[in-house]
């Protein structure tokens, strides 16, 4: 991914990771092997967890968030998926999220 890295002060990072440690303490972070693994896991049986990341014009940050969420899932012992809900972004948010291995849903209704 190109562009600035997320910092602890990044608003998207704070929102996404604020409560991640409460699900299972002591989970190790190991990367998943391929972007296809979440789809294969869901085809094999029911998912334990869906990590949902709502986005609007987050092209710079969404790739790293998806990657970190997938890494957490890989080491957590849960079967799961990372789902990005793109709220009609005008940048490349959906493309970056897909490239990072997320399933993307585009929501065309803009919020208030």
- Residue-wise pLDDT tens digits, 44-68: 677 789 999 999 999 999 999 999 9
Domain residue limits at 66: 50-112
Q: Could you tell me the end-to-end alpha-carbon distance of the chain, in angstroms, rounded to an integer?
A: 30
DSSP state of 104: E
Taking residues 19-41, what's their average pLDDT?
41
Which residue did the predictor score with more confidence, 87 or 29? 87
Residue 24 lies in a domain: no
Domain tally for the chain? 1
DSSP state of 32: -
Confidence of residue 43 (pLDDT cuts 50, 70, 90): low
Residue 67 lies in a domain: yes
Q: What does 55-93 look like in DSSP terms, one character per residue? A: ESS-HHHHHHHHHHHHHHHHHHS--EEEEEEE-S-SSSH
Residue 88 lies in a domain: yes
Residue 22 lies in a domain: no
Residue 108 lies in a domain: yes
pLDDT score at 110: 63
Residue 23 lies in a domain: no
Q: Pull the structure tokens for residue 9.
A: 């002060």
Residue 58 lies in a domain: yes
Residue 71 lies in a domain: yes
Which residue did the predictor score with more confidence, 33 or 17? 17
Rounded to two decimals, the pTM is: 0.59
């Amino acid at each position: 991914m190109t562009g600035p890295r997320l910092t602890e002060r990044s608003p998207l990072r704070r929102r996404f990771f604020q409560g991640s440690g409460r699900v299972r303490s002591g989970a190790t972070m190991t990367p998943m092997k391929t972007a296809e693994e979440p789809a294969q896991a869901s085809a094999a049986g029911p998912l334990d967890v869906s990590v949902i990341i709502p986005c609007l014009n987050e092209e710079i940050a969404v790739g790293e968030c998806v990657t970190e969420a997938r890494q957490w899932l890989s080491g957590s012992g849960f079967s799961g998926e990372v789902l990005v809900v793109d709220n009609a972004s005008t940048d490349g948010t959906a493309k970056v999220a897909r490239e990072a291995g997320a399933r993307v849903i585009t929501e065309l209704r803009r919020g208030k």
